């Protein structure tokens, strides 16, 4: 192990972005990655359970593609970007029937009403739990559905534990794109070239605050010394304490970590064993209108790209509960959810079929999907991203970005930002 300009803990997308900035500045960076692969939560697999097709286990989208920096990288490289928003169809259910056109229109109209209520509540009371918004709309038949989408489904957090201000600060617009072949494969193909990545190299301790701000990063293979260190691990890993800091981190950093717990989003894929396609076209999204606040919402993407499986998504405490019960419980839950809309034909279609359940909560190097801010802690992301030791120690990742929080783009931008601050600190 040698001396570098910048040592980077973690070779996820934030770490890769930071290393690229250091490299392009003519400096030397080393990425120390505990696992056997780079990319972090951007991971494309080819599971036999789904016939060996590519499947993104974690991140899927280039969110807000018009403003997403990764879109430009993909296009410049000549990658094909799929546009599911353009050819995706939707089926929304109310109880055991398809929602009427009037109900679907009313549901679409509920979003701006919900957002306006949120803005008024935040202006009058400050940061509150997301669940308070629906409580301000007791007669709105769609507020519970909007809450379920914006809380557990999109942000992987229950509405009563989730900062409404954090939600508003990170609301995404624009379209979504998918790199053909998967986003994890895109990261490996386009974002790792020319970087010094040391896989299977766990960092046990970061000694910071040395002479001229220098740091020493300890691993079982020896220590790396550097002018600066950028830590890109998840808040779940930081909170677990498996990575030690000497001296201890400032209170505003540890407070920020504690205010940004990891949410969980679970994917459950079910492969069909017969020709029935539930009268749905390829790439059809299926969801439902909820009848009460706090009810679980599990949207499905059915027959994506013409494939022979459906994929459900559930987040928040419902995902944590299913993860604790095991794969069979998660599959049963998904089947029961589909059964409410399609009846017994669901059991016939998927009987004996293979299934896949994702488990980011069980990955000790992540410990969840992505983080969210607790009520009253909407500024925790800003605090975590602030320089330590005049920028010789930086934190980066989706937790540290406001605007693209919880996304690959947020991790990428955050990593770039942290590297520029670290380089500036070294030049001083």
CATH number of domain containing 305: 3.90.660.10
Q: Does 250 fall in a domain?
A: yes
The answer, yes or no, to whether residue 81 has pLDDT greater than 90, is yes
User: What is the domain extent for residue 127?
Assistant: 84-175+263-362
Same domain for 414 and 267? no
Domain boundary among 331, 362, 393: 362
Same domain for 23 and 132? no
Q: Does 71 fall in a domain?
A: no
Mean pLDDT, to the nearest integer, of 277-305? 96
Mean pLDDT, to the nearest integer, of 197-226? 97
Mean pLDDT, to the nearest integer, of 76-80? 98
How far is the C-alpha of 413 from the C-alpha of 415, rounded, in Å?
5
Q: Does 60 fall in a domain?
A: no
Q: Does 51 fall in a domain?
A: no
Q: Does 46 fall in a domain?
A: no
Domain boundary among 343, 362, 381: 362
Mean pLDDT, to the nearest integer, of 168-174? 94
What pLDDT digit, counting tens, does each position of 37-75 carry? 999 999 999 999 999 999 999 999 999 999 999 999 999
Domain boundary among 306, 332, 362: 362
Angle at 172 between CA 168 and CA 176, to 5 degrees: 165
User: Residue 405 sits in a domain of what CATH number?
Assistant: 3.50.50.60
What pLDDT digit, counting tens, does each position of 359-414 carry? 999 999 999 999 999 999 999 999 999 999 999 999 999 999 999 999 999 999 99
Residue 1 confidence (pLDDT): 64
The answer, yes or no, to whether residue 95 has pLDDT greater than 90, is no
Same domain for 409 and 295? no
Residue 407 confidence (pLDDT): 98
Same domain for 272 and 153? yes
Same domain for 268 and 412? no
Residue 428 confidence (pLDDT): 87
Mean pLDDT, to the nearest integer, of 139-155? 98
Residue 84 confidence (pLDDT): 86
Same domain for 228 and 301? no
Residue 88 confidence (pLDDT): 87
Tell me how many domains the chain contains.
Answer: 2
Q: Does 55 fall in a domain?
A: no
Considering the chain, what percentage of its residues have pLDDT values greater than 70? 100
Same domain for 249 and 353? no
Same domain for 26 and 169? no
Per-residue 3-state assignment (H helix, E strand, C coil) for the chain: CCEEEEEEECCEHHHHHHHHHHHHCCCCEEEECCCCCCECCCCEECCHHHCCCCEECCCCCECCHHHCHHHHHHHHCCCCEECHHHHCEEEEEECCEECCHHHHHHHHHHHHHHHHHHHHHHHHHCCCECHHHHHCCCCCCCHHHHHHHHHHHHHCCCHHHCEHHHHHHCCCCCCCEEECCCHHHHHHHHCCCCCCEECCCCCCEEECCCHHHCEEEEECCEEEEEEEEEECCCHHHHHHCCCEEECCCCHHHHHHHHCCCECCEEEEEEECCCCCCCCCCCCEEEEEECCCCCCCCCCEEECHHHCCEEEEEEECHHHHHHHHHCHHHHHHHHHHHHHHHHCCHHHHHHCCCCEEECCHHHCCCCCCCCECCCCCCCCHHHHHHCCEHHHCEEECCHHHCCCCCCCHHHHHHHHHHHHHHHHHHHHC
The two beta strands, 89-94 and 284-289, are parallel
Same domain for 89 and 165? yes
Same domain for 157 and 117? yes
Q: Does 54 fall in a domain?
A: no
Q: Does 49 fall in a domain?
A: no
The answer, yes or no, to whether residue 85 has pLDDT greater than 90, is no
Mean pLDDT, to the nearest integer, of 269-277? 97
| CA 205, chain centre distance (Å) | 26
The answer, yes or no, to whether residue 2 has pLDDT greater than 90, is no
Quote the mean pLDDT of the chain.
97
Same domain for 269 and 328? yes
Same domain for 252 and 275? no
């Amino acid at each position: 192990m040698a001396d570098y300009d910048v040592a980077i803990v973690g070779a996820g997308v934030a770490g890769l972005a930071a290393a690229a900035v250091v490299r392009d500045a003519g400096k030397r960076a080393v990425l120390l990655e505990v696992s056997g692969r780079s990319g972090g939560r951007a991971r494309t697999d080819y599971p036999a359970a789904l016939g060996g097709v590519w499947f993104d286990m974690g991140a899927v989208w280039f969110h807000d593609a018009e403003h997403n920096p990764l879109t430009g990288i993909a296009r410049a490289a000549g990658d094909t970007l799929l546009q599911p928003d353009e050819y995706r169809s939707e089926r929304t259910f109310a109880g055991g029937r398809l929602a009427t056109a009037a109900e679907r229109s009313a549901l679409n109209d509920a979003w701006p009403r919900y957002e306006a209520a949120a803005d008024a509540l935040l202006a009058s009371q400050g940061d509150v739990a997301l669940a308070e918004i629906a409580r301000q709309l007791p007669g709105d038949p769609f507020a519970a559905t909007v809450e379920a989408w914006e809380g557990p489904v999109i942000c992987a957090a229950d509405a009563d534990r989730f900062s409404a201000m954090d939600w508003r600060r990170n609301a995404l617009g624009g379209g979504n794109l998918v790199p053909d072949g998967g986003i994890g494969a895109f990261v490996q193909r386009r974002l790792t070239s020319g970087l010094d990545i040391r896989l299977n190299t766990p960092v046990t301790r970061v000694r910071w605050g040395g002479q001229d701000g220098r740091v020493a990063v300890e691993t079982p293979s020896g220590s790396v010394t550097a002018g600066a260190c950028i830590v890109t691990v998840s808040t779940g890993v930081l909170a677990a304490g498996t990575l030690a800091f000497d001296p201890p981190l400032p209170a505003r950093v540890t407070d920020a970590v504690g205010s940004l717990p990891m949410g969980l989003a679970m994917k459950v894929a079910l492969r069909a064993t017969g020709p029935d396609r539930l009268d749905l076209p390829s790439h059809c999204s299926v969801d439902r209108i909820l009848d009460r606040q706090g009810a679980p919402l599990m949207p499905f993407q059915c027959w994506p790209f013409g494939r022979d499986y459906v994929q459900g998504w559930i987040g928040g405490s419902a995902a944590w509960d299913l993860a604790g019960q095991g794969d069979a419980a998660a599959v049963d839950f998904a089947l029961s959810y589909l059964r409410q809309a399609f009846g017994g034909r669901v059991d016939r279609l998927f009987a004996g079929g293979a299934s896949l359940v994702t488990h980011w909560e069980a990955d000790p190097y992540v410990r969840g999907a992505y983080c969210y801010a607790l009520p009253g802690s909407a500024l925790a992301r800003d605090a975590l991203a602030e320089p330590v030791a005049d920028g010789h120690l930086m934190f980066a990742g989706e937790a540290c970005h406001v605007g693209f929080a919880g996304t690959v783009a947020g991790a990428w931008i955050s990593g770039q930002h942290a590297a520029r601050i670290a380089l500036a600190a070294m030049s001083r």
